[in-house]
Structure 1
Amino acid sequence: MNPTRTGRALVVVDAQQSFLQRESWQASSDPEVANRIGRLVDHFRGRGDRVVWVLHTEPGSGTVFDPELGFVEPMPGLNPADGEPLLTKTAHSAFTGTDLQRLLTGWGVTKVTVCGVRTEQCCETTTRMGSELGLAMTFAVDATATEPIEAPGSTPGRALREILDDPRTLRPEDVITRTVYALAGRFAAVRTVDEIVGEHMPGAR
C-alpha cells in the first residue's frame, strides 16, 4: 500500500557528478554529502512525501556541467525513484526556468526542505525564492556542501593549493556559517538531518 501523500516535499539541488570532477571538491565541506542526502531522501520517501531532483546544466559550455560530457547525473548512491521528477536548470534557483513551482502547487505542497550543492549558491538561492513564493522552507544544512570561495578579483585558473594558501580565500565552514546567519529566522528554518528526522518521528512534538 502506498503511503498517504502529504503537504511536504524534499528538493535535492545539484547533487550531481559534475562536482566530483573538479579539483576543488577535494576541499569541499563534505565530500561524502551524498550519504546525508540519501538519508533524507529515504526518510521523506518513507513518509510518503514528495521528492524532486534538480540538476544544473550549462549546455555547450564544454565544462563539467555540459550534459554532453555525461556528468550531469546524480551522485553515486542517489537514484531518483519511479515517479520522482528529475528537472534540469540553467540558473541558480531551482524555481527559475523549471516546472518546480507548478509541481509543488499541483501536489498541494506548502512545506519544502532543501538539500544539495552548493550551500550558499543554488541551495540558498532556491530556499530564498521558495520563501518569497510563500512556502515554509527548511534548510537541511548538513545535507548541503560547498567549496572554498576565492576572493573577488583573484587570478583565474589557480591551482587548489594556491587558492587554499591565499588568506583571502573564504573557507567552506565560514561560507556555511554565513548562509546559516542569512537564512535562519528570515527565509527558512535551518535544521540538521538528525533534527529533521527526529521532528518527523511518530510521537515527536
Structure 2
Amino acid sequence: MAIDLQHDFVSAQGYFAKLGYDPDILRAVIPNVNRLSKAMRRAGGLIVHTRQGYRADKADMTPYEVWRRERNGLAGTQVMLRGQPGFEIDSGVNVEPTDVLIDKTANGSFTHTDLEHVLGAHGITHLILAGVTTEVCVHTTLREACDRNYQCLTVSDACASGDADMHKAAIRMVTVENGIFGVVATTDAVVAGFDNLAKNCDPCQDRTEKT
C-alpha cells in the first residue's frame, strides 16, 4: 500500500508545507515506493494507493475538524478537499491502470472506506506498507490492519515523517513484543524477495495467497 503520496503532503504548496514542515523529506521516499510497486507488479501483487481528503462540499467535516483547520491556519483554503489539485497523487508516483485508489477521510485507510472489501475480493492476507507520514496515516493503517488479522510488513525507507524522531519511534514500535505490528524491512530486501518470487512463481497470478 502506498499511503497518501498526494500533493497536499509532498509538494511545496501543500498542507504539510503550510504547517511548516519540509515536504522534500517526504518526497525523498517516492523512488523507493516506485521500486516496490514495480517489483510487486512483476510478482502479481495488487498495488493500492490511498488519498486523504474531505468531500468537496465539506459535508463530512465535523465542527471539531473545522476548528482544527482554523487552528492550523487552513480556514478558507482548498487543502485536503477532494477534487482539488492538492488531493491528487503526486505525478512522481507511478500509478498504473491496474492499481486501486482508496479515498479516505480519516487517518486510517480502513475507516469509512471499502478497502477491506477490496482486499477480501482479491484474497489478500498480507500487506506491505509505505508512504506518509510514518507515525500518523501509515501507523494508523498498520494498526487497523493488524486488528483485522492481516500480516503486515512496513518498509522503513519507503515511509517518511516530517520529524525524524517520530519516524524512528514509529518504525521501532512495529517490532515491540516480538513484532506486535508485524515486521520491518528495507526496500532493497523487499524488492529482492519479490524478484525471487517472480522467478519461482509461474504464473504468479495463480498463487492461492496474494500479497
Is the contact made by 2:157 and 2:187 (CA closer than 8 Å) also made in structure 1? yes
**Which residue number in structure 2 is paired with residue 164 of structure 1?**
none
Match of 2:2 in 1: 12
> Any idea what SS the aligned residue of 2:173 has?
helix
Is the 1:57–1:88 contact (alpha carbons within 8 Å) kept by the matching residues of 2? yes
Secondary structure in 1 matching 2:102: strand
Match of 1:180? Answer: 171
Q: SS of 1:112's equivalent?
A: strand
Greater RCO (Cα-Cα under 8 Å, separation 6 or more): 2
Give 5+ residue unaligned stretches, structure 2. Answer: 59-74, 200-211
1:51 aligns with 2:47: yes
Post-superposition offset of 1:28: 5.5
> What letter corresponds to residue 102 of structure 2 in structure 1?
L
Distance 1:45 1:64 in 2: 32
TM-score (norm 1): 0.76
Identity of paired residues, percent? 26
* 1:28 and 1:146 in contact (8 A); partners too: no
What residue in structure 1 maps to residue 208 of structure 2?
none
Q: State the partner residue of 1:95.
A: 110
Partner Cα separation in structure 2 for residue 37 and residue 196 of structure 1: 11
Once the two structures are superposed, the pairs formed by residues 30-45 of structure 1 within 5 Å of their partners are 30-45=26-41
**What count of residue pairs does the alignment treat as equivalent?**
170
Rounded Cα–Cα distance in structure 2 between residues aligned with 1:27 and 1:99: 29
Structural mapping, 1:1-205, within 5 Å? 11-19=1-9, 20=11, 21-22=13-14, 23=17, 24-26=20-22, 29-59=25-55, 60=58, 62-147=77-162, 172-184=163-175, 185-202=179-196
Q: TM-score, normalised by structure 2?
A: 0.74
Q: CA RMSD in A?
A: 2.0
**In 2, Cα distance between equivalents of 1:83 and 1:201:** 19
Q: Which moved more, 1:17-26 or 1:59-68?
A: 59-68
Task: Name the CA distance, whole Å, in 1 between partners of 2:171 and 2:165.
Answer: 10
